[in-house]
Amino acid sequence: MFGGVLLREAQYCLHVDKPSGDIFFQVGPLICTMMTDKISHDIAERILAWYARHQRNLPWRKTRDPYHIWVSEVMLQQTQVETVIPYYQRFLSCFPTVQALASASLPEVLKVWENMGYYARARNLHKAAKEIMERFQGEIPQTWGDLMALPGVGNYTAGAILSVAFDQAAAAVDANVRRVLSRVFAIQKPLHESRTQSHLWDLAGKLIPIKGAGRFNQGLMDLGATVCTSKKPACGLCPIQDCCQAYERRLQDVLPVTKKRGPIPHRQVTAAVIWNDCGQVLIARRPNRGLLGGLWKFPGGKQNPGESLPRCLRRHVREELGVQVRVRGPITSVNHAYTHFRITLHAFHCAHQTGEPQPLTCADWRWTTLGRLKDFAFSKADRKIICAVLSQNGGYEA
């Protein structure tokens, strides 16, 4: 009871005091200056009931295996659910346990991860698996501190593992949850600001139920993904519509406040398909860091202002591998977009002239046939070059 009225039957609203950040709940003309257990319980019950009826049918929802849940949560970072599903299934078929992942080589892991992007996730998964075997005897840690100490595990991943796998009352705030909370509480501060992020985590922590934390977190995520969407939210289908300050103030189409992106840089990049007299091509492995770290590539790099593409290509091959090449002719140009920049990758046939390859700025190098290129993990842009070369060769993969 609150003010003589049952909360689940009352029409109450949420308010956030801007200077203090305190939460206020208004029931009719009355205002409660704290988030009571009853109110948070009522919201949690609504989310849990909605999730029980409307949860998405996803493969990682059918297990409580903490390793499988960890893999899914890492894959879902920066990648859409529909894209993740086949990769998740393939990854677990190759590495069904943390022991199997730790025992694999990094090139094997990157090959299975190939084309999903954001390869630091795969490198960190592999590194963390090794640490779990060494420090925790192959068992996924069940404490916040131990999880956060693992490579690639942040607040969201730790909260998701603890709540979903171990049913601990831990919040897990992803992009979908941030959107839901920013609308429910009418938060009009930019989401990227650290103060806003901390406030959202605090709100999520106050709402999390003692039991069913994993289902609650997944319910908030599903609500943001399917109802409280970034554009044209379906407010009429929302189980907590009457609690939503954005809906009451007609701000659901302008919240959350996001950072405006500036112009995206566009880079011109070269790639050399270098042939030797045996009909083999020269490939290089990137160092295990950076955007595409650990993947194989065709030698080359970014064009400098005023530099011709052939000159750029010769320079990068020399700096990367210490060899001289003769540029024969173009193969294809590939346009590709990354998160913060775009590239046009210009590929050329080249002939090896002098010099024994050395890993000067790359991690490794290899002469190989076209048919063996499928055994190496390449970026999506480099894969398009391979397809173009095979097409020119009539599909021949000797």
The CA-based angle 221-226-229, given to 5 degrees, is 90
**Would you say how long the chain is, in residues?**
398
Alpha-carbon dihedral 315, 321, 327, 331, rounded to 10 degrees: -110
pLDDT reading at 31 higher than 60: no
How confident is the prediction for the chain on average, in pLDDT?
A: 89
pLDDT of 189 reads 93
- Residue 261: pLDDT band (50, 70, 90) is confident
Tell me which residue of 316, 236, 210, 212 sits closest to 270, measured CA to CA.
316
> What does the pLDDT look like over 43-92, one tens digit per residue?
899 999 999 999 999 999 999 999 999 999 999 998 999 999 999 999 99
> Is the domain of 236 the same as that of 335?
no
> Is the domain of 89 the same as that of 223?
yes
Asked whether residue 333 is assigned to any structural domain, the reply reads yes
Mean pLDDT of the 143-162 span: 97
- Residue 210: pLDDT band (50, 70, 90) is confident
Out of 248, 276, 305, a domain closes at 248
Asked whether residue 350 is assigned to any structural domain, the reply reads yes
pLDDT reading at 33 higher than 80: no
374: how many CB neighbours lie within 10 A of its CB? Answer: 11
Mean pLDDT of the 167-195 span: 94
pLDDT of 243 reads 86
> Is the domain of 189 the same as that of 279?
no
Q: What is the DSSP letter of 5?
A: B
DSSP-assigned letters across all residues of 352-397: EEE-----SSSSEEEEE-GGGGGGS-B-HHHHHHHHHHHHHTTT--
Asked whether residue 1 is assigned to any structural domain, the reply reads no
The amino acid sitting at 62 is K
> Is the domain of 384 the same as that of 336?
yes
> Is the domain of 234 the same as that of 286?
no
> Is the domain of 201 the same as that of 329?
no
CATH code, domain with 231:
1.10.340.30
> Is the domain of 316 the same as that of 381?
yes
Burial class (CB in 10 A: 0-12, 13-18, 19+), 283: buried
Task: Pick the more confident residue, 26 or 177.
Answer: 177
Out of 216, 248, 280, a domain closes at 248
Asked whether residue 20 is assigned to any structural domain, the reply reads no
The amino acid sitting at 161 is I
pLDDT reading at 113 higher than 90: yes
Rounded Cα gap, residues 198 and 43, in angstroms: 21
**Range scoring the smallest mean pLDDT among 20-24, 76-80, 127-131:** 20-24
> Is the domain of 281 the same as that of 341?
yes
pLDDT reading at 146 higher than 60: yes
> Is the domain of 305 the same as that of 365?
yes
Say what the pTM is: 0.84
**Range scoring the smallest mean pLDDT among 37-41, 304-308, 322-326, 359-363:** 37-41
Domain count of the chain? 2
> Is the domain of 144 the same as that of 290?
no
pLDDT reading at 264 higher than 70: yes
pLDDT reading at 180 higher than 70: yes
- Residue 259: pLDDT band (50, 70, 90) is confident
Mean pLDDT of the 243-253 span: 92
> Is the domain of 204 the same as that of 277?
no
Rounded Cα gap, residues 225 and 180, in angstroms: 10
> Is the domain of 104 the same as that of 168?
yes
Asked whether residue 153 is assigned to any structural domain, the reply reads yes
pLDDT of 13 reads 44
- Residue 36: pLDDT band (50, 70, 90) is low
- Domain housing 365: 266-392
**Range scoring the smallest mean pLDDT among 7-21, 129-143, 282-296, 378-392:** 7-21
- Residue 153: pLDDT band (50, 70, 90) is very high
Pair 376, 298: CB distance under 8 Å: no
Residues carrying an active site annotation: 73
Pair 362, 381: CB distance under 8 Å: no
Q: Which residues contact 293 (CB under 8 A, 6 or more apart)?
A: 119, 120, 123, 286, 287
- Residue 27: pLDDT band (50, 70, 90) is very low
Asked whether residue 373 is assigned to any structural domain, the reply reads yes
Out of 220, 248, 276, a domain closes at 248
Asked whether residue 254 is assigned to any structural domain, the reply reads no
Asked whether residue 174 is assigned to any structural domain, the reply reads yes
pLDDT of 35 reads 56
- Residue 106: pLDDT band (50, 70, 90) is very high
CATH code, domain with 387:
3.90.79.10
